[in-house]
């Protein structure tokens, strides 16, 4: 892509791709709700990216690898989460089967861990979705190469993670975006609402997305009615969403400002992923040997 993130956010063709992308995300959620729910808030997503990047990239200046103390230190220093939240995340990932301990060697206080095959598979799917969008934009063959050489995940992922974690535009894209991504399952609910948008211009004040009932949100994303109503009511109070009639029983609209926050976020993210691809796999660059776990864990697609 030759456009900057700011230019991309205003590009109607890119917005078309983003709408298709959100629908793919919702479809992926339907296929694996447990995995998607585990990373459905921004904080959890950032912690997952940090853990992968430490494991295969050594993004903190140390050799590749991850253990609890190292992970917690990185997460706290980059203001992603608190010490206790980071430790709790590790324990949950171990329990869910996305992380496992390696055989104990050396210092027992720094027991090494690695992502499981399922975790690597989910990450590969996430990267693949983004590469497909980039390919459709410029006719590239990124995803075809990624499918043939799944070990490239260990090369791309650290650069992508660092770019995302260090981007203030992605960490704080706007008040409405923050509202959804800070709530449990809020990120996937936001994707769902955006996926219902038709083609609009950046000047659109309100976009009608059809009838959206609280029961529909609860059923799709396995959250309580209380949680769904609280989240949507806060968005209503911000004038970011609203109903044309009775709440939960009529047509829902999304404000142009809310949609623009989403466009800005996606444009920044895709620009970072494109830059990571170019910096690691561009012309005249060799592909370094990736971690063996990714080579064996991620199947060709």
What are the Cα distances from residue 301, in Å, to 128, 144, 150, 163? Answer: 10, 9, 9, 26
Q: Where are the alpha helices (DSSP H) in 39-116?
A: 42-57, 68-77, 83-96
Domain boundaries, the chain: 5-169+266-297, 175-262
Q: Name the residue among 50, 108, 125, 110 with its Cα closest to residue 80.
A: 50
pLDDT at 105: 60
Residues in the chain: 301
Q: In what order do the strands lie in the sheet with 112-115?
A: 66-67, 112-115, 99-101
Give tens-digit pLDDT for 127-167. 999 999 999 999 999 999 999 998 899 999 999 999 999 99
Give tens-digit pLDDT for 14-38. 999 999 999 999 988 877 777 777 7
Q: Name the residue among 252, 266, 132, 268 with its Cα closest to residue 197.
A: 252
Please give the class, per CATH, of domain 175-262: mainly alpha
Whole-structure pTM over 0.95, yes or no? no
């Amino acid at each position: 892509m030759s456009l900057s993130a700011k230019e991309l956010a205003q590009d109607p063709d890119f917005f078309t791709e983003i709408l298709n992308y959100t629908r793919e995300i919702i479809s992926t959620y339907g296929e694996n709700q447990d995995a998607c729910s585990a990373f459905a808030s921004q904080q959890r997503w950032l912690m997952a990216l940090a853990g992968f990047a430490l494991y295969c990239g050594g993004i903190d200046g140390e050799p590749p690898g991850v253990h609890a103390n190292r992970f917690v230190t990185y997460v706290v220093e980059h203001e992603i989460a608190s010490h206790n939240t980071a430790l709790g995340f590790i324990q949950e990932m171990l329990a869910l089967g996305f992380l496992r301990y390696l055989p104990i060697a050396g210092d027992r206080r720094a027991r090494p861990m690695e992502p499981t095959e399922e975790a690597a598979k989910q990450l590969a799917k996430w990267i693949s979705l983004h590469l497909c969008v980039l390919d459709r934009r410029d006719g590239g063959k990124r995803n075809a190469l990624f499918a043939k050489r799944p070990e490239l995940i260990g090369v791309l992922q650290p650069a992508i993670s660092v770019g995302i974690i260090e981007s203030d535009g992605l960490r704080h894209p706007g008040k409405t975006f923050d509202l959804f991504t800070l709530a449990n399952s809020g990120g996937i609910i936001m994707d769902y609402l955006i996926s219902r948008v038709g083609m609009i211009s950046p000047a659109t004040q309100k976009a009608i997305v059809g009838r959206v009932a609280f029961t529909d949100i609860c059923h799709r994303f396995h959250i309580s009615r209380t949680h769904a109503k609280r989240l949507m009511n806060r968005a209503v109070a911000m004038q970011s969403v609203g109903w044309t009639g009775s709440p939960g029983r009529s047509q829902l609209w999304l404000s142009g400002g809310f949609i623009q926050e989403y466009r800005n976020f996606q444009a920044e993210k895709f620009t970072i992923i494109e830059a990571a691809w170019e910096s690691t796999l561009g012309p005249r660059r060799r592909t370094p040997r990736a971690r063996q776990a990714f080579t064996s864990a991620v199947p060709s697609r």
